[in-house]
Chain A
Amino acid sequence: MTAVGVEDIGAYFGTARVEVDELFQARGLEPARLANLLMRRKSVALPCEDIVTMAVNAARPVLDRLGAEGRATIETVVVATESGVDLAKSAAAFAHAFLDLPKTCRVFEVKQACHGGAAALQMAAASLAASSRRGRALVIAGDAPIPVQGSYAEPSQGAGAIAVLLGEPRLARWHADRYGLWSFDNTDFRRPAVDVDVINVDLSIMSYIDCLIGSYKNYSEHTESDFGTSFDALAMHTPFPGMVRGAHRTAARRLSGMDAAEIDLDFKKRVSASLEVPAEVGNIYSGCTLMALASSLRHHSTTTGHELGVYSYGGGCSSEFIGLTASADTDGTPAAAQLDTALSARTKISVERYDAVLDVARRTLPGTPDADDCLRGVSDLVTAAARTTGPLLMLGSIKDHHREYLWCDKDMT
């Protein structure tokens, strides 16, 4: 079996961000609830963005670093999302073209609510490990939800994508038999239409905890692992960081018998690094677990490498607990630097401008037959971000259901 792991990571978190405390104030939301959210900012999707542009913009820096020779070894590209632009043609098919990936490539899209990204990673890694070809796979996961204005979900509804290049284990080593599974039927989250999110918050949180404990127990049955001591760091699906803190509190008590003081210490030591990036971006649904994984590798770096437990949950529901081995000095890698760049490239916008963006967001929703000049009113945000990130793919127009994309650079040329 070929040694496989996370070789590189790319990120794209949009061109604009809004301060969560300002959003709370503008909406008249109860300020006390901020404490349990643990969010600082959130990314905002523009009308000229969809999962195709986000996937491509997340992956392009990774492929630039990989070079032409490496790019030719990519044999799988998969996009996991709950925001597909077409019910037949996959976002991966679009991404495959715009990223100029080889024709000798397996191309598909995955939907399994928020578990999609980690599920895709597991399948792609396993296919690489089982092959003697020494190929690579590109797993991209993300989402561009339509925020529910005025709800308590809105402050955490973000936008963006994470691209994980699987190949040589430079950032983390993947292990074929280190996983635990737990799934059952529930109806905690649905998206029956592209702009309709139906969520039972309490059921979702309870199911998330059940699955964390269930998948971890399944993991430990096969690996003789101990939740409290076998991992130096933990990264979990993060709809909002406060939910991870709550779930960790319950799991640490039930699985390891930790008391309140030990739980607080354990959270700071093993979990908080994984929440640094999510606290700046918000919920990117299928991409949440991979974003937490990237955040942990960026902010929890060791000189010798360490064991990293990854927990993924998707509504509906399905889950997986995965054991990776993080490499040494992951904070000094190009992936870490690009994660920072993806955050800093965003322009801070007021709630007033954020509302103006949302007012026209439905103009370009998947299923829309026609829309002209999708960059109207937001091109300044795109050019400002492109000055930091390099060229960005954007949706230019929609004609008879055909989405026409264009590359935008800092000069909008």
Chain B
Amino acid sequence: MLKEQLLEVLPDLDPAAVVPSASMSSLGADSMDRMDVVVGTVEALGIDAALHRFGDAANLGELTELLLEEVPS
């Protein structure tokens, strides 16, 4: 889901570059792109948590872990 959102915001991105150790910045996403990816993923997953919960993730792997903690069971 996170990868889908990222490729939707950055359509020219090489899908193979979307790996857990990559940060969105290193993939070329600016701050507004990153906001759109996080908000889009949170809403697609039905997460009800505050968005600032996801503001400290250093890379996609950390962001995925934070998102998984909040996905409704």
Tell me the A residues contacting B by CB distance below 8 Å.
30, 32-33, 36, 152, 184, 186, 188, 200-207, 209-210, 242-243, 245-246, 250
Report whether over half of chain B's contact residues are helix, strand or loop; otherwise say mixed: helix
Q: Are A188 and B55 in contact, with the CB atoms below 8 A?
A: yes
Q: Are B30 and A206 in contact, with the CB atoms below 8 A?
A: no
Q: Are A246 and B56 in contact, with the CB atoms below 8 A?
A: no
Q: Are B51 and A36 in contact, with the CB atoms below 8 A?
A: no
Q: How far is the CB of B41 from chain A (nearest CB, A)?
A: 12
Q: Which residue of A lies closest to B40 (CB)?
A: A250
Residues of chain B within 8 A of A30, CB atoms compared: 28, 30
Q: Tell which of B31, B38, B53, B57 touches A201, judged by Cβ atoms closer than 8 Å.
A: B31
14 further contact pairs, Cβ within 8 A, besides A30-B30, A206-B51, A209-B51? A36-B31, A36-B32, A184-B52, A200-B56, A202-B34, A203-B55, A205-B31, A206-B54, A207-B52, A210-B50, A210-B51, A246-B32, A246-B36, A250-B35
Alpha-carbon distance between A278 and B36 when the two chains are bound, in angstroms = 22
Q: Are B35 and A246 in contact, with the CB atoms below 8 A?
A: yes
Alpha-carbon distance between A113 and B71 when the two chains are bound, in angstroms = 33
Given A205-B35, A206-B38, A246-B35, is A186 in contact with B52 using a C-beta cutoff of 8 Å? yes
Q: Is B33 an interface residue (CB 8 A)?
A: yes
Alpha-carbon distance between A200 and B25 when the two chains are bound, in angstroms = 13
List residues 31-73 of chain B with CB under 8 A from any CB of chain A: 31-36, 38-39, 50-57
Alpha-carbon distance between A152 and B31 when the two chains are bound, in angstroms = 10
Q: How far is the CB of A315 from chain B (nearest CB, A)?
A: 11
Q: Which 3 pairs from chain A and chain B are nearest by CB? A: A203-B55, A206-B51, A36-B32
Alpha-carbon distance between A207 and B56 when the two chains are bound, in angstroms = 11
Alpha-carbon distance between A188 and B56 when the two chains are bound, in angstroms = 9
Q: Are A204 and B30 in contact, with the CB atoms below 8 A?
A: no
